Amino acid sequence: MRHTKGLLVIVLALACTAVSAAQGSPEAGRKKISMCLGCHGIPDYKTTFPSVYSVPKLGGQHPEYIVKALQEYKTGERSHPSMKGVVETLSDQDMADIAAYFGGLK
């Protein structure tokens, strides 16, 4: 039992390190958001592809949430054709930078 607790602590520490490995730069993120603004930069925008829905506001979202969402679009856990096309070109650092930029907005 004692070894199991130690192993659990190590696994959790490694998981936290992996998630936060890329620290985002809001300044770098500002230069990478042009592809986001066509939908997320329009207040109360609703898209009609692939169905009608309100596009979520990104400004002020937690950066960790944005990174996780982008990663899920990239892996296919989340499905949206436009987002899938956008994230295919993003590195982990790009995602962290974009998230840091939007996370710093109000």
Report pLDDT digits (tens) over 64-103.
999 999 999 999 999 998 999 999 999 999 999 999 999 9
The pLDDT-based confidence of 53 (bands split at 50, 70, 90) is: confident
Class of domain 23-103: mainly alpha
Amino acid letter at 6?
G
**The model's pTM:** 0.74
Q: In this predicted structure, which of 5-19, 20-34, 56-70, 87-101 has the lowest mean pLDDT?
A: 5-19
* Residues with Cβ within 8 Å of residue 44, at least 6 apart in sequence: 54
Residue ranges covered by each domain of the chain = 23-103
Please tell me the predicted confidence (pLDDT) of residue 22.
76
